[in-house]
Amino acid sequence: MTARPRWPADACWWLLLVVVAAAGAVVMRGDVDDAVGAGAAFEVWGDVVRDVDQCSLSLVRVSPEEEMRLGRELVASGGWATVPASPWQAYVDAVGAGVAAHVRRRGIEYRFRVVESPEVNAFALPGGNVFVTTGMLGFVESEAELAFVLGHEIAHVDQRHAIEALVTRIAMERIGLGDVGRLAELPLVLVRGGYRKYQELEADVAGLHLATAAGYDPAAAVVPFRRLAALHGEPTSRRPSNPLGEAVGAVATGLGSYLHSHPVTQARIDRLDQLIAQRRSWGRGTGGYRGVQNHGQKLPRAAHEFPDEGGH
């Protein structure tokens, strides 16, 4: 039996070197991102934990009606200083309704509430209860930015992030173990804390999707984050002197931020930039309404579209 010649296998092996070199050359021609971190590993780990968690959570099916009931109870017990008579309320309702029209879970009725607070913040409770502070309304500079902020909070409800925190207690109440459910919430908070920031990233993506679907400029999604980064700033770490130091630093940083509820602003900006570029590559995401004047006049786009604000 004659041995087959070795050269094809050898040639294919060395061809890999060509492939590697070619890929490197292509990368060098593009816009290189030099960021390093252990986020990927923690994100993969968060995926695993979340998959296990959500598989069990999906066994507890909470209907929209039940979720809205829970939401109302939480709003009633929260004591937030809402100002229904605020001049912003109608404007926020109009913008929010436009964004919420593209949600996946149709059974949820969304209600938007303006909170009198200088803090730049917005949050959502189960059942479609979205809160936005007057500080946030003053912080955003266009209707598209506000649409993204509201879309982000709507996405938390639409993606069931808001109700997931209560599912365990609900399941326990259904089988008559409500107290045990409340006790079980604490360890679950720790478990879910690991992927809560990935929920934020998901909400960013979904919010962008909702705002874009409502006809707003996707580029406006990153503007508030950039402004926040410029306002507060974030510590910039110096590049370590060797790969080992880099790895150790990345793991330490990643471990420290693993339980943070919100990801680093720059990471969100990068994700959104990448997503926007991706959507543009799909032929979507070009153009869109900005609504700077609408925001300044508290005049929703649904009521009036300024011609120089982009859009269709």
Partner 1 sequence: MAEVLFGVVGLLVGLLYLCAPFVAIAAWRHARRLETDLRTLERRLAMRRFEPAAEPVPLQRSTIPPADARPPSGSPAEPIVAPGAALDLPRPPSGPPPLMYPPAEPLEPAPRDRARPEPPPLPSLPAVPSPRAEVDVAERLSDALQGGWRAVASTWEERIGGSVLSKAGALLVVIGVALFVGWSMMNLGPGGRVAIALAVSGTLLAGGLGLQRWADYRSLALGLSAAGWGGLYVTVYAMHGLAAARIIDDPRLALGLLLAVAAGMIVHALWLEVPTLVAVAYAAAFAAVVIGPPSAFAAVACVVLAGTLLIVAARRAWSGFAVAGVLCTYGILAVRFPEPDDASALLPALSTGMAILWACWSMFEVYDVAMAARGRGGVGRAIAPLNLCGLLGVALLHWPPPFVGLDWFLAAAAAAYAVSTIVRLSVGGRPGRDGAAATIAGPELAVTIAAALWAAALWMRFSAGWRLHVGLLMEAEILFLLGIALGWRHLRALAAIVFAVLLVRFVACDVLPGGEVIVGGITLARWTPAALVAAAALVVNRAILAWRGRPLLAGESLATFAATALVTLVIGGEAWQRHLGLSLATVGFAWLVLAWLLMELAVRWRFVEAYVQACIVAFLALVPLALVNAFPDALVTVGGDAVPAWAWLGPAVGMLHAIGWRLAGPRRFAGLEPAEPDVSQAILVAATSGALLLAWHALPAPLVALAWAGYAVVAFGLGVALPHAGLRWHAYAVLALTVGRLFLANFTNVGMTGMLSHRLLTVGPVVLVLYGLAIRLADSRLRPPVTGGERLLGPIWSWIGTIVLLVLMRFELGRVLTVGGWAAVGVVLLVLGQRLGSATLRWQSHAIALATFARSWGTGFAAPEGPDGLLNPVRLGGFVVTCLFASELLCPSADRGPHSPRSPGELLAWLDAHRRTFYAILGTALLAILLVHEVPTGLLTAALGIEGAALLVVGFARPDRGLRACGLAVLGVCVAKLFFHDLRHLETPYRILSFILLGILLLAASWVYTRFKPRLRGLP
Write out the residues near partner 1 by the rule CB under 8 A.
3-4, 6, 9-10, 12-14, 16-17, 19-21, 23-24, 26-41, 43-44, 47, 50-55, 57-58, 104, 155, 159, 198, 202, 205-206, 209-210, 213, 241-243, 246-247, 250, 267, 270-271, 273-275, 277, 279, 281-282, 284
Q: How far is residue 11 from each of residues 8, 18, 19, 174, 294, measured CA to CA in Å?
A: 5, 11, 12, 65, 64
Give the residue with the Cβ less far from partner 1, 48 or 303.
48
Give the residue with the Cβ less far from partner 1, 139 or 195.
195
Cα gap 177→168, rounded to integer Å: 10
Residue 149 corresponds to which amino acid?
V
Give the residue with the Cβ less far from partner 1, 14 or 230.
14
Lookup: tokens for 177: 């173990």
φ, ψ dihedrals at 82, nearest 5°: -75, 150
Give the residue with the Cβ less far from partner 1, 159 or 294.
159
Rounded least distance, CB 147 to partner 1, Å: 15
Rounded least distance, CB 306 to partner 1, Å: 26
Rounded least distance, CB 27 to partner 1, Å: 5
DSSP 133-183: EHHHHHH--SHHHHHHHHHHHHHHHHTTHHHHHHHHHHHHHHTT-HHHHHH
CB 133 within 8 A of CB 149: no
Cα gap 307→69, rounded to integer Å: 42
Lookup: tokens for 53: 């968690």
Give the residue with the Cβ less far from partner 1, 115 or 220.
220
Lookup: tokens for 14: 């060395």
Give the residue with the Cβ less far from partner 1, 46 or 224.
46
Rounded least distance, CB 102 to partner 1, Å: 10
CB 68 within 8 A of CB 108: yes
DSSP 220-271: GGHHHHHHHHHHH--PPPPPPSSHHHHHHHHHHHHHHHHT-SS--HHHHHHH
Give the residue with the Cβ less far from partner 1, 134 or 265.
265
Where do the DSSP E strands lie in 81-147? Answer: 111-115, 122-125, 129-133
Rounded least distance, CB 260 to partner 1, Å: 16
Give the residue with the Cβ less far from partner 1, 51 or 119.
51
Lookup: tokens for 174: 């259904």
